[in-house]
């Protein structure tokens, strides 16, 4: 085996566990290492690091199962307004995510989110466009032209992503003024570094009032079919699918060689 290209999603696939296994097996692999993968998977840690770096993020609160009594509809909506989004901290594909507009929905959504994780996030709902940007590289990552997702459902839910063929319209590249494109690319590359990513990642944004750029999340193993956003955004930026794969493999080998040079014991 020369290189492993993990095209896996969710728990055990992109949360650092498979990446740890590959490190132990001493095999080069594509994409974020153990830390970047784990950080990218945990929406709480991810958003705290982004916020700490001064990058624009959504306002959010975190609740753990052990402090369930703190989850109070009045207090939460006082802080974040309505509607709010409720989501499990570690997951993806919009599983367990709910947009909540009243107290009843709130109770149900909190219960459902806790089915998937011991930690949940409540976020202010952002009204605006959903823009994504592909990032490629190790130390000096580059960002693609952004693309836009226009969900045909209330939000980009599991149904809109996977069950409904017409669940969303994709526009690549997104129709945006040059200065907004530049701002998104800069923030995407900074988020990639701040979140300890390597190789590839897709950074997802909200664009409020057509100018305020807010980071929603990072995906360390973005969808990778020929029609997925990550390869499509690179294609629109002049990097073909085959060239993209070549570059990612090259980056994996480079990272592996660099890490090999490090001293890992005192013997
Ligand atoms: N704070 C928010 N404001 C507005 N829409 C949101 C918010 N959080 C999530 N969404 C909607 O839910 C979708 C899935 O949420 P996201 O945080 O990206 O989770 P996942 O990791 O499952 O993709 C987003 O693409 C968006 O449509
Ligand atoms: Mg998402």
Q: Splitting the chain (267 residues) into consecutive groups of 10 residues, what average pLDDT does each group show?
A: 92 93 97 97 97 97 91 94 96 91 95 96 97 97 98 92 90 97 98 98 95 96 90 98 97 96 81
CA of 92 to the centre of ligand 2 (A): 7
Whose CA is closest to atom 14 on ligand 1? 94
Q: What is the pLDDT of residue 267?
A: 67
93 in ligand 1 pocket by Cβ < 6 Å?
A: yes
In tens, the pLDDT along 68-84 reads 888 999 999 999 999 99
155 in ligand 1 pocket by Cβ < 6 Å?
A: yes
Three-state DSSP class for residue 90: strand
In tens, the pLDDT along 241-257 reads 999 999 999 999 999 99
Q: Where are the domains of the chain?
A: 17-56+127-260, 60-124
CATH code: domain 17-56+127-260 is: 3.30.470.20
Task: From the CA of 160, give the closest atom in ligand 1.
Answer: 27
Q: What is the pLDDT of residue 252?
A: 98
Q: pTM value?
A: 0.96
Concatenate the DSSP letters of all residues of 103-116 into one string: HHHHHHHHHHHHHH
Three-state DSSP class for residue 143: strand
Q: What is the pLDDT of residue 211?
A: 87
CA of 132 to the centre of ligand 2 (A): 9
199 in ligand 1 pocket by Cβ < 6 Å?
A: no
As to burial, measured by CB atoms within 10 angstroms (0-12 exposed, 13-18 middle, 19+ buried), residue 50 is: buried
Task: From the CA of 94, give the closest atom in ligand 1.
Answer: 22
> Residue 155: in which H helix or E strand, if any?
none
CA of 70 to the centre of ligand 1 (A): 23
Mean predicted lDDT score pLDDT of the chain: 95
Ligand nearest the Cα atom of residue 153: 1
The alpha carbon of residue 117 and the mean position of all alpha carbons in its chain are separated, in whole angstroms, by 17
CATH superfamily of 60-124: ATP-grasp fold, A domain (3.30.1490.20)
């Amino acid at each position: 085996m020369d290189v492993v290209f993990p095209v896996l999603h969710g728990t055990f696939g992109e949360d650092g566990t498979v990446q740890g296994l590959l490190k132990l097996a001493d095999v080069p692999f594509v994409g974020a290492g153990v830390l970047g993968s784990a950080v990218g998977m945990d929406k709480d840690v991810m958003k705290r690091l982004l916020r700490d770096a001064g990058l624009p993020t959504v306002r959010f609160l975190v609740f753990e199962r052990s402090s369930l009594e703190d989850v109070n509809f009045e207090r939460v909506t006082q802080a974040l307004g309505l509607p709010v989004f409720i989501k499990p901290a570690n997951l993806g594909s919009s599983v367990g995510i709910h947009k909540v507009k009243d107290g009843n929905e709130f109770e149900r959504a909190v219960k459902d989110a806790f089915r998937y994780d011991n930690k949940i996030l409540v976020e202010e709902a952002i009204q605006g466009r959903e823009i994504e940007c592909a990032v490629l590289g190790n130390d000096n990552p580059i960002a693609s032209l952004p693309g836009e997702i226009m969900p045909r459902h209330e939000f980009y839910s599991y149904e809109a992503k996977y069950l409904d063929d017409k669940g969303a319209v994709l526009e690549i590249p997104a129709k945006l003024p040059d200065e907004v494109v530049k701002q998104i690319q800069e923030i995407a590359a900074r988020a990639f570094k701040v979140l300890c990513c390597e190789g590839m990642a897709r950074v997802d944004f909200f664009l409020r009032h057509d100018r305020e750029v807010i980071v929603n999340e990072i995906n360390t193993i973005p969808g990778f079919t020929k029609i997925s956003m990550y390869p499509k955004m690179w294609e629109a930026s002049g990097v073909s699918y085959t060239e993209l794969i070549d570059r990612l493999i090259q980056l994996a080998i480079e990272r592996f060689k660099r890490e090999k040079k490090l001293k890992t014991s005192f013997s």
